[in-house]
Each structure stands twice: as C-alpha cells, then as structure tokens.
Chains A and B, each alone.
Chain A
Amino acid sequence: MAGTEHSEGLAFHPLEQFEITRLFGHGPIHWYTPTNATLWMALATLAIIVVFVLGSARRSMIPGRLQSLGEMAYDFIYKMVEDVTGHDGVKYFPMIMTLFVFILFTNLLGLLPASFTPTSHIAVTAILGFGVFLFVTLLGLAKHGVGFLGLFWMSDAPLILRPIIAVIEVISYFVRPVSHSIRLAGNIMAGHAVIKVFAAFAPLILISGIGVLVTPISILAIVAIYALEVLVAFIQAYVFTILTCVYLKDALHPGH
C-alpha cells in the first residue's frame, strides 16, 4: 500500500530540468527556434552587460559595488592570462574574459530555481572546448609552423623513450578538448541532478510517516549541495579559463 503511494506521490525526474523546450508555441526545434537555452544565455548576456558596462558607466575613482565586481573580475582574469601565458598572451585577454564571464554567469543563473543551465549541455561545452582546442592548435601552427610539433618531442628525455612519449603526448593533446568540455558539463549536470533527487524526496512527509525523518534530511542536503554548487559554479568557470590559458601558453611557447 505504502509502496504504491510512494510511486504515485514522489516524482523522480532529475533530468527533466535539462530538456530543451520552445519558448513560444509548439512544434519541432529548428536551429533558429528561441528556446529556454536562448532565454538563459540572453539573461546571462544581460547580467554581464549590467555588471561590466552599466556598473562601470560612472568611471568612479572610488568604485561602487557593481564597478568593484567588474574590476575584480577584470583584474583576476587579466592577471591569470598574464601569469600563465606571458605578455604576448595579453592580446587574447578579451577572448578568455568572454569565456570566463559566459561560463560563470550561466552557471550562477542556472542555480536559480526553475531556471535552465546552458553549460550543463555537452553541446555547449563541446563547442567551447573544441573551439579553444582548434583556436590554440591553429594559432600554434601559424606561429611556429612545424616547430609547434616540438610540443610532443621531449628533447630532454632519453632518445629511446622519445617516440613513446611523443605518442602519449599526442593522445593526451587530443583528449584535452574532450576532458575540457565534459568536465564542465558533467560537474554542472551532476550537481543539478543531485539537488533534484533530494528535492523529490522532500515532500515525503505529506505521504508517509517516514517523511518526518527524510524530509528534514533532504532539505538540509539541498541547502548543503546548493552551497557546494555555488562554489562549483565559480570553480568550474575558473578551471575552464585557466586551462584555456595553459593551452594558449603551449601554442605561444611550445618549448618545454
């Protein structure tokens, strides 16, 4: 009896939140159809404009809150680019800043209840990851020509080991974009799914006596995981950005 009540009352659809849906009307989703992904990317863009454009509009010598936020993000990424890639990497700073703010703001907006997180989709992160991969590979080839392949040739390793190491290096080089994109999507998706699972347990108190125990635990778990997810939202944006910087450094200075 209780078992049937469980299956009727509790709705486990942890993956429903990731569905792409049309914003208006019904029908198939074409490449140009405005969807929930469109909406939340647009909201992220708006938030970015509010923080970085409107926030700095007064150009105050003593910054307000929004301007401080923009300046801190600017300094943070600028220092990262300069430290990791060196001075000649600074001209790619706007590109890297774009990646960072896009990932950070979509991650954070995705933590709003009933929102949608574009970065939880492998389609989005794969474009980001493979885009970075293609960009740095072509940049390295354009800058150093065949010399870029020296990235795979460990000149300080014993001669016999060098071809083996080269094979391993090539494999690891081509795995980079895969791990780069799956890391981001996987982290975001897993966190959201876990919150949803605990959220599904939360209304148990309305159905069964065991809910007296389960409901507070699941609500506490939601709060704890939510806090963790706020951290993850930032850390994943940071990790993606610093790895981009590292790959860019390899393209600019292939020598070890």
Chain B
Amino acid sequence: MATTETAHEAAKAGMPQLDFSTFPNQIFWLLVTLAVIFFVLRTVALPRIGGILTTRRGQISGDLAAAEELKHKALEAEKAYNAALVSARAEAGKIVAAAKAEIQADLNAAIAKADAEIAAKTAESASRIDEIRAAASDVVASVAKDTAAELVVAMGGAVDARAIEAAVTARLKG
C-alpha cells in the first residue's frame, strides 16, 4: 500500500501515463469495455448492418435486372409495332390497288356501254338521214319531172312522159 502511494505521489509530479499504480485499473476497465463492444457488435450490430447491406445490394441488382427486362420488352413492343405498321401499309396498298382495278373495270365497262350506245344512236341517225335523203331525192325527182313537163307544155311542145323521165333521171344522176 505504501509503495503504491509513493508511486502515485511520484507520478503526480511527472506524467500520469507512467503512474503504474493506475495500470491494473485501466487494463481491467479496458478489457471490460472491449468485451462489451465486441459482444454488442458481434451479436447485434454487425450481422444486422451486414444484412441490411446485403438486402439493399440484392434489391438494387434485382431492380436493375427488372429495368433491363422492361427495356427489352419495350424494344420488342416497338419492333412489333413497326412490323404491324409495315404490314398494315402493305395491306392498305393492296386494298387501294384492288379498288383502283375495280374502278378501272367499272369505268371500262361504262365506257364500252356508252360507246355501244353512241354507235347504235349514230347508226340509227345515219339510217334516218339516208331515209330522209332518199325521200328528198324522190320528191326532187317528181318535182323536177313535173316542172320539166310544165316547161315543155309552156314552150308549146308535146309532153312525152317517157323522154322527160329519162332526161330528168339522167340529170339527177349526174
């Protein structure tokens, strides 16, 4: 007891770090503290924090994978959309072509029908014109004969019906 007291007094003059009388105390409490900290960290804190970090890493990589998958899906959807667009365009082109062909066919039929009608009407008109012309030349011939006969009478000649007819017919032909 006396030695520790003197050592304590001596250390008071110098560095408290070299006061060996306090060493057992510090070492004892240090070991207690380290044991408590080690126990708390080992059993509670470190497994828990390690678990949190692992879970978070898993969550992040899972989320990234999901994002990658969604991106893939989006790309596929875009591709499918483009393909659908292309096929729809082709379909529309076909329909347009078919409609054009149909309309052309209708148009051709209508034109042909109209042509036929026009031709029929033309033929009818031509035959009537011929009839009218024939009738007119008959009338002209009879008027010419009558006129010629009257002229012959007026000049005091004898009317030779046959000669007049022949002469008029010959003139009309010329």
Contacts and interface: CB of A to CB of B under 8 A. Distances in A.
Contacts of A94: 38, 41-42, 46
A28 B1 contact: yes
Q: Report the contact-size class of chain A (Cβ under 8 Å from the partner).
A: 35 or more
Contacts of A19: 12, 16
A210 interface: no
B52 A127 contact: no
A118 B30 contact: yes
Interface stretch (A47-55, A153-161, A172-180, A219-227): A47-55
Interface stretch (B18-26, B66-74, B95-103, B154-162): B18-26
Contacts of B42: 94, 98
A20 to B, nearest CB: 4
Nearest to A35: B25
B29 interface: yes
Interface string B28-52: 1111111011101110111011111
Contacts of B27: 31, 123-124, 127
The list of the 9 closest CB pairs from A to B, nearest first, reads A31-B24, A52-B45, A20-B22, A41-B33, A18-B16, A123-B26, A98-B38, A123-B23, A94-B42
Interface of A: 15, 18-20, 28-33, 35, 37-38, 41-42, 44-45, 48-49, 52-53, 56, 59-61, 63, 67, 70-71, 74-75, 78, 93-95, 97-98, 101-102, 118, 120-124, 127-128, 185, 189
